[in-house]
Amino acid sequence: MNVALLDITSGRKACINKDFMGGYGWAFNAGRGLSSGMINFVKKSGENLPIMSLGYLASIFHQKKWDVEYARNTVPSSKLVIIHSSMVEHKAELEWAGRLKKAGKIVGFTGPFSGSVPEIFLEKCDFVIVGEPEEAVYRISEGLIPKGVLDSRPIEDLNSLPFPKWDIFPHKGYSYFPALREKPFLPILSSRGCPFTCNYCPYLVHYKWRVRSAENVLDEIGHLVSRFGIKSMLFRDPIFTFDRERTSKIAESILERGYKIKWACETRLDRVDKGLLKLMYSAGLRVINVGIESQSEDIIKKASRKPVSLRHQEEMIRYCDEIGIRVTVFYMFGMPDDTRESLLETIRYAKKLNTHVAQFFIFTPFPGTKYYETIKSDIYETDWEKFDCYTPVFYHKNLGKEKIIQLKERAFVSYYYRPAWVIKFFFRAMRDIFNK
């Protein structure tokens, strides 16, 4: 028995990552001008991450003695083909599904987008997996002939899953540059879902919150070091440090086992303190990704997000800068109660923090989220590929589409083309070189 895991790319010029935003994907776009175009170029030329779920599916099929192949934009030899769906490239994915069906293949889709709107995909394929895909794939690997909508229950014990089988993927080309310069690089997922309840969060749609044990995570790190020789890795968890005791155990074990790797993670700043940051730095943490979204705590609260106190987040960012952890901050433009003034204040606040990286997203209602259901009557965009995290798609009560786009581009350009950021970038780079 054989199966192909197919990755479809449309050739769009944007830096596209289908695994971000809970698996819906994004298409990075700092703006339309020359200055923002340079930012787009840097982003696209450095970042190249695999789709986590496909790595897990490959390992399950392999465990069940199937022949597994990975292919990109080609008709594979395998009879069964599974494609990870995305919002940002679903047109090309559907086109390829039709082509594969004509070639006599059994075609299925997985991923949050096809799981949220399976009716769009079932016109072109045989089945759609709804939910975390592993449980359904176990049934397929044991003889189930997939058809229609396959509900897939979450695997309760994440420790029971085999590690992703990256060796059939183009792993030598994976990169998280410029955040992490060291290669070989691979990602790792130590938990799933999110324990918080932001009504716009894509991670809450098809993922149940649970964690792997520190021991299981360390065994996978050891596997990545011995099998692939990794020198850097990214924890793909949206809240890596939610359980601080588990995080401490992971960091301590990295030190005890002598793994010389640099790594990055994503979390909330209210789930770290100086002691934990210092420990993680000692264990190789060099980049931390955090969401601040807006300078206004009131706007954040109205979007059902629990705010972090400004005093604490500023203290944590200063401490990261002090000990050598580069900080990436995510900001959200066009939140429900945003105004022109609130966005300008967020831009000023971002410059005040002056972190290594600032990402300015446009607030996007992902299908399946509570917020999508709340405002779907205000959504004017009918092209799902425009739900790319950088394009307005619904009528905003305070801001027009062009104004949001204009402020987003202003944020990127005015942030990165400042002497204060350039000078700090230079000194951070020098510190990294001398602290290697």
238 pLDDT higher than 80 = yes
Q: What is the pLDDT of residues 166-213, one digit of tens each?
A: 999 999 999 998 899 999 999 999 999 999 989 999 998 888 899 999
Residues whose CB falls within 8 Å of the CB of residue 275, separated by 6 or more in sequence, listed in order: none
In this predicted structure, what is the pLDDT of residue 47? 87
Q: 36 falls in which pLDDT band (50, 70, 90)?
A: very high
Of all residues in the chain, what percent carry a pLDDT higher than 90?
Answer: 90
431 pLDDT higher than 90 = no
Residue 398 structure tokens: 């305070």
432 pLDDT higher than 80 = no
Residues 396-406 as b or e (16 or more Cβ within 10 Å = b): beebebebbbb
Q: What is the pLDDT of residues 298-325, one digit of tens each?
A: 999 998 899 999 999 999 999 999 999 9
In this predicted structure, what is the pLDDT of residue 388? 97
In this predicted structure, what is the pLDDT of residue 427? 85
89 pLDDT higher than 80 = yes
* CA dist., res. 169 & res. 157, Å (int): 26
* CA dist., res. 121 & res. 131, Å (int): 15
Rounded to the nearest 10°, the torsion over CA 58, 61, 67, 69 is: -20
- Arithmetic mean of pLDDT, 312-339: 96
CATH architecture of 2-151: 3-Layer(aba) Sandwich (3.40)
77 pLDDT higher than 80 = yes
Domain boundaries defined on the chain:
2-151, 174-434
* CA dist., res. 26 & res. 205, Å (int): 16
Q: How confident is the prediction for the chain on average, in pLDDT?
A: 95
119 by DSSP, 3-state: which?
helix
- Arithmetic mean of pLDDT, 349-361: 97
The predicted model scores a pTM of 0.95
In this predicted structure, what is the pLDDT of residue 43? 87
DSSP E strands: which ranges in 15-126? Answer: 15-17, 26-28, 47-48, 67-72, 80-84, 106-110
415 pLDDT higher than 90 = yes
- Arithmetic mean of pLDDT, 345-363: 97
CATH of domain 174-434: 3.80.30.20
Residues 126-148 as b or e (16 or more Cβ within 10 Å = b): bbbbbbbbbbbbbebbeeeebee
In this predicted structure, what is the pLDDT of residue 436? 60
In this predicted structure, what is the pLDDT of residue 197? 86
Residues 237-261 as b or e (16 or more Cβ within 10 Å = b): bbbbbbbeebbbbbbbbbeeeebeb
Strand pairing report for 80-84 and 2-7: parallel
Residue 125 structure tokens: 């394929």
In this predicted structure, what is the pLDDT of residue 296? 95
- Arithmetic mean of pLDDT, 372-389: 96
Residue 292 structure tokens: 């601040």
